[in-house]
Structure 1
Amino acid sequence: MQANTLKSQDIRERIRELVEAGLRNKGVSGRLASFAIVGHDGLIRDIRAGRLVGIDKLDALFEYLGLELYFGPPRDTAPAEQMFIDGKDFAHIPLHGASLAAGGGAMNEGETVIDHLAFRRSWLTRIGVSASSARLARATGDSMMPTIHPGDMLLIDTSKDAPPDKPRSPKDTRPAPIYALLDDGAARVKRLALVDKNNLGLLSDNHTTPPEFRPISDVKIIGKVMWWGHTNKE
């Protein structure tokens, strides 16, 4: 039952992310969108509160916001380069020259692709990442240790570029999600939590690094960190 609960929670969070991005792109408020679909302001309020809404209302809302309502494995709208190894389907994921600082921030040429790494498409689908949205970068600094070490490879889903839109429930004991972000132009990797409607908390796993706080408007989300790889150095 626990696995089903978490899966349902993830679906609600993803719906919220898509709706918030759709509202921003269309330039309308949640209240206006709700009235356009159901004639009152409760629809977006329910979605933001994490309540599931009827599929007919959700379909109408997505159409209004110019979004596609689709349930199923992630689909590649612009697939990454395909390759087969021993008959298995792999995607070439670009490794950027960017260093994501688990600390004060790194200034670098983040758009330069320096290499590609092959990932099984079936594995990407299993963790909910479309190959066309996947990017790789390396971490620097120690403020995210012991979770992320200097030099670790990070797999980033650039389609998940909306900040958290509601405070976490006290009953939710999971760590806050990890994001790659630009903080005043510096590339960083941090856990993000919504403090209030205008501010984000940038959280580190290293207990010696205090939390930081930023206005949401000052932080640009690159994407959500979905996986990281660590090489043990003896």
Structure 2
Amino acid sequence: MTSIDDDFPEMVRQRLEQLGTSPFAVEHAAGLPADAVRNVLRGGGKSGPTLTRVRQICDALGLELYIGPPREAGPVERILLDGADYAHIPLHDAMLAAGAGCDNSAEQVIDQLAFRRDWLKRIGVPASTARLARVQGDSMQPTMWPGDMILIDTQRKVPAIRTKDGKDQRRSPIYAMIDNGEARVKRIERPSAELMMLISDNPDYAPEVRQGGDIQAVQIIGKVVWWGHTVKE
């Protein structure tokens, strides 16, 4: 019989890899004590982490307290097509502005699209946390165009804090967010806990800086994990 002490470090390690973040970044972003996550990975301590610490780490990583990847909860319809298992993902009547922001006060689910469950599992997105919306505006061109559909993983709400040197060519991840009450989609760079940069792919738009208390005005909806273009003649 396995115990939390046996399984928990590996679950934490896998979740960090899935989120593309580091133990230090999670500790810093969640206000955990220094080495709280790193001690788990090292298997430090004779008795292992306390239940309170396990709960704090799970909350920071988006894990449920049963200890494991988030279980699919809620009414997710299953479809079998040519032997493949699909899940219905809701499309919301919401426009996420690649620009100044949109007001989606009347947002509601207007359709459902089927995605293969094995593909969702491969990219680490539970069907129950996946949502679809559309893009409006040109600030994310040429990556995203007006009318493009985006798939959002609503369990990924904590952009990793990372410092970049000249050799780091990785692009910042794209997030859907509510910024000062308006829905937007931007790349988010977090050089530190006190600094957030909203970055557009269109060079005509300058990066936007959020510092200190202004960061709290940015409510992350989730990470954008896929998008699709609609061809218009």
Post-superposition offset of 1:13: 3.3
Post-superposition offset of 1:85: 1.5
1:70 corresponds to which of 68, 71, 86: 68
Write the distance in 2 (CA, Å) between the matches of 1:13 and 1:127. 12
Post-superposition offset of 1:20: 5.6
1:30 corresponds to which of 32, 50, 68: 32
Post-superposition offset of 1:139: 0.2
For residues 22-59 of structure 1, give each alpha carbon's deviation from its aligned partner in whole angstroms, at most 9, with x where no partner exists: 94xxxxx422xxxxxxxxx4335x59xxxx932567x7
Maintained 8 Å contact 1:168/1:193: no
1:43 is matched with: 36
Distance 1:93 1:86, change over 3 A: same
Write the distance in 1 (CA, Å) between the matches of 2:231 and 2:190. 33
2:97 is matched with: 101
Q: Secondary structure at the match of 1:169?
A: coil
Q: Please say if 1:169 is aligned against 2:164.
A: yes
Distance 1:10 1:125, change over 3 A: same
Q: Secondary structure at the match of 2:41?
A: coil
Q: Secondary structure at the match of 1:228?
A: strand
Q: Secondary structure at the match of 1:60?
A: coil
Per the normalisation by structure 1, the TM-score is: 0.76
1:36 is matched with: none
Note the 1:146-157 alignment, pairs <5 A.
146-157=142-153
Instruction: Please report the RMSD computed on the Cα atoms of aligned residues, expressed in angstroms.
Output: 3.1
Q: Secondary structure at the match of 2:121?
A: helix
Write the distance in 1 (CA, Å) between the matches of 2:19 and 2:79. 34
**Which structure 2 segments of 5+ residues have no match?**
1-13, 59-64
1:10 corresponds to which of 17, 30, 45: 17
Write the distance in 1 (CA, Å) between the matches of 2:227 and 2:89. 14
2:224 is matched with: 225
Residue type of the alignment partner of 1:63: V
Maintained 8 Å contact 2:25/2:162: no
Residue type of the alignment partner of 2:201: D
Q: Secondary structure at the match of 1:30?
A: coil
Distance 1:56 1:226, change over 3 A: farther
Residue type of the alignment partner of 1:60: P
2:49 is matched with: 60
Aligned residues: 205
Write the distance in 2 (CA, Å) between the matches of 1:231 and 1:198. 38
Distance 1:11 1:108, change over 3 A: closer
Distance 1:19 1:115, change over 3 A: same
Write the distance in 1 (CA, Å) between the matches of 2:130 and 2:25. 17
Maintained 8 Å contact 1:17/1:160: no
Write the distance in 2 (CA, Å) between the matches of 1:168 and 1:21. 13
Per the normalisation by structure 2, the TM-score is: 0.76
Write the distance in 1 (CA, Å) between the matches of 2:188 and 2:29. 21
**Which structure 1 segments of 5+ residues have no match?**
1-6, 24-28, 32-40
Q: Please say if 1:136 is aligned against 2:124.
A: no
Residue type of the alignment partner of 1:70: G
Residue type of the alignment partner of 1:30: L
1:198 is matched with: 194
Maintained 8 Å contact 1:192/1:202: yes
